[in-house]
Chains A and B, each alone.
Chain A
Amino acid sequence: MRVVVAMSGGVDSSVAAALMVEAGHDVIGVTLKQWEDADGNLPTAGCCTVGDAEDARRVAAQLDIPYYVLDYVEEFRRAVVEPFGSGYLSGQTPNPCVECNRTVRFKALLERTAELGGDVLATGHYARVAWHPSGYQLKRGIDPGKDQSYVLYMLTQQQLSHIRLPIGELTKPAVREYAARLSLRTADKPDSQEICFVGGGDYRDFLAQHFPETARPGPIVDTAGTEVGSHRGTAGFTIGQRRGLGVALQEPRFVIDIDSATSTVVIGDRHDLLADGCVVRDVSFVAGHPIDGQPIEVKVRYRSRPVPARLEVDNGSWLVRFDDPQAAVAPGQAAVFYRGDLVLGGGTIERSIP
C-alpha cells in the first residue's frame, strides 16, 4: 500500500511516518507549505518554519522515504486564515485547526494523495480510525491528555476509509520513546502549542497586523447595559475571558457576549456565563445520526472535558442541551459529540442558549 504521510517536522508526524514504514508500506513524506512571509519564503520563527520543513526532510531521509513540499499557501489563506479573521470580526472565536482539517488536510491533501498514487493519507493526530462491521469509526486517541479527535469530528466514512492515524494508539511518552529509539532528530522537539500561522506570538497581534479592521474600539458594558469601560476591538475577546478586560471591579467578571455589529463587549459574573445549551450549525456525523434525545457527551472547547448532553432537532437546526449548565460556550468553536471513546460528529457553535 502506498501511504502519503503529512509531516510537519514535529515528533508526532515523524513517528507516524516511521510506523508506516515499519508496517512495510511504500511511504511518501510531504510537508504542506501553508504560510509564507511577505518575501514568499517560509517564516524563520514560530511554526511552519524553514527549520520545521528541514526537520521533516531530514527525518524522511533517515527513514529513506521520498519527501516533497507541497504549496497550499493559497488554499490555506482562503480556507483557514481569512475565516479566522472574519470570524473574530463577527464576534466569534474561530477554530482554525478544524477549518484546516476540513478544507486543507482532509480535503485538498486527501485528493492530492490519490493524484500522487497514494492509497491512504496518514497524519500525526492523536485519534484513532477503526473498522467496525457498521462502518469506519473515529475514536479518541488513547492518550487522554493529547487526544485530538475534537478537531477531526468532520471526517466522513469516505474520508476515513483513506486515512490512517497511527499514533492514536500511543501515548505521547511512547511516541517520544519510539522516536528516540530510532534516533529521529525530532525526538525531543518541543510540542507546538499555538495556532500554527500565528507563530509564537499572541493571536491578537496577528489579527492587528493582518486584519486591521478588527481594531474597532467600542464600549464594555455590564448586563444592565451600563458602560463600565472601553476596548480597542472586539477581536481581543473570547467568551469566558476573565483577564485583560481593562475594567477594575471587585467581583470576578467574564466576557459573556460580544456584539460585533455595535462593537460591544458584555461582561457579567460567573452565573451569567452559564448556558443551558447551544445551537450548532454545519453539523456532520461520522456514521449516521444518533437517535434524537439519546444521551451523548459533548465537548465545546478543545481543552475541556466532554459533558453529558442531549441532541435535539428543532425546525431543522441542531440543538445541544447540556445536562448541567456549562460555562463559556463560544460561538465559532466546535461542539463535538461523543459516546465514550467514539466520535459521533459535531458542528460549529452558532450561539449559546441561556
Chain B
Amino acid sequence: MLYLDHAATAPMRPEAWEAMEEFRSAFGNPAGVHTVSRAAKHGLEAAREQAAELLGAARPTEIVFTAGGTEADNLAVTGAALADGDPGSVVVTAVEHKAVLESAAFLERLGGRVTRLPVDADGLIDPAAAAGAVEGATAVVSVMLANNETGALQPVTEVAEAVHAANPNTRVHTDAVQAFISEEVDVGSLGVDLLSLAAHKFGGPKGVGLLYVREGVRLEPVVHGGSQELGRRAGTQNPMGAAGMVAAMAATVADRTDFRRRVQAARDGFEARLAEVIPRLRVNGPLDRRLVQHSHLGFPGHRSETLLIRFDQAGLAAAAGSACQSGAVEVSHVLAAMGMGETEAAEAVRFSFGWTTAPGDAELAAKLVTGVIEDLQ
C-alpha cells in the first residue's frame, strides 16, 4: 500500500517510539511526591522545555500539553474567548479546521459574536480584512497556518501584526497542526499568542497535542478538574505521550530542510506526470503558497468517492473531504468557502506525502492514479 494520506495521520517516527519506551519504568503520575512520580515528572518537564525551545517560546510554562490538536484549538478559541467571563466576540476564517469552527459555533450558542472571514478562490484571506473585523470586544482571531485540505498557507505573520495593531488586547491564534512538519514554526517571528500542534501529524503518537500560550494570556480551561498544566488543562498528565510528541518534533525540525526538498520533488513530479495524462486535471489551492506535501486535485467527470475506492483497490491510500461518522465522504466546507461548486468539490482528492515518502513513490503514485482513471474511461 502506497500511503499518500500523511495529512490525515503520519506513521510514528522511530525517535518517538524510542522516547516513549523509557516510560515503561517511568510510569508514575507526575503529580505524586515519590521517586516513581519524580521520574515521570522529569520526563514530562524535559519534554516541555524542549518543545518550548523548538517553537521559539520564551518559557516552558508557555507550553500546555493537551490530548490532541482539537483540544488545543478548543482551548485556544473557547479558552481565550471565555477568559473574561463572557463569550465576547471571535474572528475565524471560513476554512479553519472544524475544531476551530465548532468552538466558534459553541461560543455563538453562548451568546458570543462570530465573524467568519471569507477566502478567495485559492482559499486565502486578506490580513487587512482580518484586522478590519476586529472590534473592541474581540477576544481572539484564529487563522490557520496551513489548510489541512488544500495546504494553502495563510499570511499569519501579517494577520498577527495587523490584528495587534487594531486591538492590542485581541489574541491571535494559529492552528499549525498541518503545517508543522514542513514549515518553520517560530512563535516569535509569527507573532502569535496561541499556537496548536498535534503530534500524530508529524510522526508522534495520536492523542497528544500542545497549545503554545504566550505568557500573560489568560485562558478559561475547557477540561475541568485538577490543577495540572498550571490550571489550564485538568487531567492526569501524559509524560509518555509528551515525550513521544517532542521527540517527533525534534526529528521533524532536524529533518525539515531535507523533507521539504524530498517531498516537494515527489509532489511536483507526481502532479507533472498526472497533468500529462489527464489534461483537464485541476490543482486546488494556491500553486505557489501551499504546503510542499499537499496535492489537492480535481478529476473532472470522476467522483472522489469512487476514485478513493478504486485507489484503495489499486493499493494507494488517499483522502477526500472529511470522513463523517459512518465513513462516507462529505463535501468539504473548505472547497465550498473557496467558491467551488458541489460537483467540482465532489471530484477532489487529497494526496499528501510525508516523512516515509521514498524516491520512486511519485512515479508509482502517478502510475496507479492514471491506471484507475484510464480504467474508468
**Which residues does chain B contribute within 8 Å of A117, judged by CB atoms?**
310, 313, 375
Q: Check B313–A42 contact: CB distance below 8 A.
A: no
Q: Check B376–A53 contact: CB distance below 8 A.
A: no
Q: How far is the CB of A165 from chain B (nearest CB, A)?
A: 23
Interface size on B, residues (CB 8 A): 16
Q: Check B309–A33 contact: CB distance below 8 A.
A: no
Is A45 part of the binding interface, using a Cβ–Cβ cutoff of 8 Å? no
* Chain A 46-79 interface residues, beta-carbon cutoff 8 Å to B: 50, 53, 57, 66, 68-71
Is B329 part of the binding interface, using a Cβ–Cβ cutoff of 8 Å? yes
**Which residues does chain B contribute within 8 Å of A251, judged by CB atoms?**
none
Q: Check B328–A69 contact: CB distance below 8 A.
A: yes
Q: Check A69–B310 contact: CB distance below 8 A.
A: no
Q: Check B326–A41 contact: CB distance below 8 A.
A: yes
**Which residues does chain B contribute within 8 Å of A50, judged by CB atoms?**
325-326
Q: Check B309–A68 contact: CB distance below 8 A.
A: yes
Is A13 part of the binding interface, using a Cβ–Cβ cutoff of 8 Å? no
* Chain B 265-281 interface residues, beta-carbon cutoff 8 Å to A: none
Q: How far is the CB of A283 from chain B (nearest CB, A)?
A: 33
Is B330 part of the binding interface, using a Cβ–Cβ cutoff of 8 Å? yes
Given contacts A116-B306, A116-B310, A117-B375, contact A68 B327 (CB under 8 A): yes
Q: How far is the CB of B325 from chain A (nearest CB, A)?
A: 5
Is A40 part of the binding interface, using a Cβ–Cβ cutoff of 8 Å? yes
**Which residues does chain B contribute within 8 Å of A28, judged by CB atoms?**
309, 313
| A193–B328 alpha-carbon span in the complex (Å) | 25
Q: Check A40–B309 contact: CB distance below 8 A.
A: no
* Chain B 327-377 interface residues, beta-carbon cutoff 8 Å to A: 327-330, 375-376
| A66–B314 alpha-carbon span in the complex (Å) | 12
* Chain B 244-285 interface residues, beta-carbon cutoff 8 Å to A: none
| A112–B326 alpha-carbon span in the complex (Å) | 19
Q: Check B305–A41 contact: CB distance below 8 A.
A: no
**Which residues does chain B contribute within 8 Å of A314, judged by CB atoms?**
none
Q: Check A116–B328 contact: CB distance below 8 A.
A: no
**Which residues does chain B contribute within 8 Å of A115, judged by CB atoms?**
306, 310, 376
B326 CB contact (under 8 Å) in A33, A66, A116 = A33
Contact-residue bracket for chain A: 10 to 19
Given contacts A70-B305, A115-B376, contact A41 B325 (CB under 8 A): yes
Is A123 part of the binding interface, using a Cβ–Cβ cutoff of 8 Å? no
Is A348 part of the binding interface, using a Cβ–Cβ cutoff of 8 Å? no
| A42–B309 alpha-carbon span in the complex (Å) | 21
Is A31 part of the binding interface, using a Cβ–Cβ cutoff of 8 Å? yes
A31 CB contact (under 8 Å) in B308, B326, B329, B375 = B326
Given contacts A117-B313, A117-B375, contact A71 B306 (CB under 8 A): no
Closest to A54 in B: B326
Q: How far is the CB of B225 from chain A (nearest CB, A)?
A: 28
Q: Check B376–A70 contact: CB distance below 8 A.
A: no
Is B324 part of the binding interface, using a Cβ–Cβ cutoff of 8 Å? yes
| A69–B309 alpha-carbon span in the complex (Å) | 10
| A31–B325 alpha-carbon span in the complex (Å) | 13
Closest to A48 in B: B326
**Which residues does chain A contribute within 8 Å of B84, judged by CB atoms?**
none
A71 CB contact (under 8 Å) in B310, B312, B328, B376 = B328
| A53–B327 alpha-carbon span in the complex (Å) | 9
| A71–B320 alpha-carbon span in the complex (Å) | 13
B305 CB contact (under 8 Å) in A31, A42, A71 = A71
Closest to A31 in B: B326
Closest to A115 in B: B306
* Chain A 14-43 interface residues, beta-carbon cutoff 8 Å to B: 28, 31, 33, 40-42
Q: Check B312–A40 contact: CB distance below 8 A.
A: no
| A70–B309 alpha-carbon span in the complex (Å) | 10
| A255–B313 alpha-carbon span in the complex (Å) | 54
Q: Check B313–A66 contact: CB distance below 8 A.
A: yes
Given contacts A50-B325, A66-B313, A117-B313, contact A40 B306 (CB under 8 A): no
Closest to A116 in B: B309
Closest to A26 in B: B313
| A41–B308 alpha-carbon span in the complex (Å) | 21
Q: How far is the CB of A80 from chain B (nearest CB, A)?
A: 17
**Which residues does chain A contribute within 8 Å of B330, judged by CB atoms?**
40, 71
**Which residues does chain B contribute within 8 Å of A69, judged by CB atoms?**
326-328
* Chain A 86-132 interface residues, beta-carbon cutoff 8 Å to B: 112, 115-117
Q: How far is the CB of A11 from chain B (nearest CB, A)?
A: 20
**Which residues does chain B contribute within 8 Å of A66, judged by CB atoms?**
309, 312-313
Closest to B323 in A: A69
Q: List 8 A-B contacts (CB under 8 A).
A: A28-B313, A42-B324, A66-B309, A68-B309, A68-B312, A70-B305, A71-B330, A115-B306
> What would 19 more interface pairs be, CB under 8 Å, given A41-B324, A68-B312?
A31-B326, A40-B330, A41-B325, A42-B324, A42-B326, A50-B326, A53-B327, A66-B313, A68-B309, A68-B327, A69-B326, A69-B327, A71-B305, A71-B329, A71-B330, A115-B310, A116-B310, A116-B313, A117-B375
Q: Which 6 A-B pairs have the closest CB atoms?
A: A69-B327, A69-B328, A71-B328, A33-B328, A53-B326, A69-B326
